[in-house]
Amino acid sequence: MRWMSFRWLSNTLLSVQNPALANRVVLFRGVGFGTTHRSMDRNREEQLIAKEINVKFKPEVNQVQEILVTNSFGGWEKCWEQGLTPWDLGQPTPALLHLHHTGSLPKGRTLVPGCGSGHDVVAIACPERYVVGLDVSDKAIKKAEELSSLSPNANCFTFLRADFFSWHPSELFDLIFDYTFFCAIEPEMRSRWAMQIQNLLKPDGELITLMFPIDDHIGGPPYKVSVSDYEEVLCPLGFKAVFVADNELAIKARKGREKLGRWKRSSIQSSM
Ligand SMILES: C[S@@+](CC[C@H](N)C(=O)[O-])C[C@H]1O[C@@H](n2cnc3c(N)ncnc32)[C@H](O)[C@@H]1O
């Protein structure tokens, strides 16, 4: 991931999240706070800003953002070293488990890019589905390996430290599951994400995206996403959404902000 491109971001969190808002603060400060009327304006302005900037995530998300902004390279590693992993559910993703348990998850070689501590990898690995969990962070991979070392299905999965964008596996995948990876990368990397998905997936393979966070927050990571953000980069490569629906099984804190998307290449979508 090109962390260098974070450099355009300024040092303050506010301007990171929205330069326009930062300007408004500067402008506002220039007015001065001399009268009650102005103080009331200021309160209203501050309330508005507080509403507009990201208030939907745990406070640790701000710390993650700061680390990623100030560490062009190795930002994710630092987050893992410092135990700053507010995205980690500490359990498999319920929607993915549901697909697995109801037999609606494709079998075969499966990739989970940006797998973090690997709960999803272990949860869906079985003799018919060999799962590779990939993460750029050494610490994440070590944690995933430690957590899963006693799993009875240990021969059905593996963890690998590699950069998703430059990784060249020897075998392609039948299934790729992306949850909180697309939203973690910089938006300008999304077309490279789609190209790499295409490179890694067998022609008749399936991409499953749990799209989050679908909202209107500013800044990131996590960057806000929409179904059309995925379509914009996937459709030109021949992918089509064969299924999109609200994720009813989202954890409480993410309810209403997740959609499940299933993507196949257009030429074979009629077989779904
Ligand atoms: C927001 S976390 C999500 C982790 C996991 N999917 C989860 O839901 O718990 C994003 C993960 O992507 C990893 N990551 C970031 N850039 C990556 C890259 N270029 N290649 C592989 N992994 C990457 C980070 O180390 C981090 O573990």
Stretch (H or E) spanning 63: helix 59-70
Q: How far apart are CA 136 and CA 144, in angstroms?
A: 12
| Å from CA of 113 to ligand 1 middle | 7
Query: What pLDDT shows up at residue 56?
Result: 63
Helical axes 36-52 vs 19-31, angle rounded to 10°: 170
pTM for this model (two decimals):
0.81
Residue 52 pLDDT more than 80?
A: no
Write out pLDDT tens, residues 218-248. 989 999 999 999 999 999 999 999 999 999 9
What percentage of the chain carries pLDDT values higher than 90? 73
Average pLDDT, the chain: 83
pLDDT (tens digit, 9 = 90+) per residue, 183-212?
999 999 999 999 999 999 999 999 999 999
Q: What is the 209 CA–ligand 1 centroid distance (Å)?
A: 14
Ligand 1: centre distance to CA 114 (Å) = 3
Structure-token pair, residue 254: 């993410």
14 pLDDT more than 50: no
Residue nearest to atom 6 of ligand 1 (CA): 115
pLDDT value, residue 267: 66
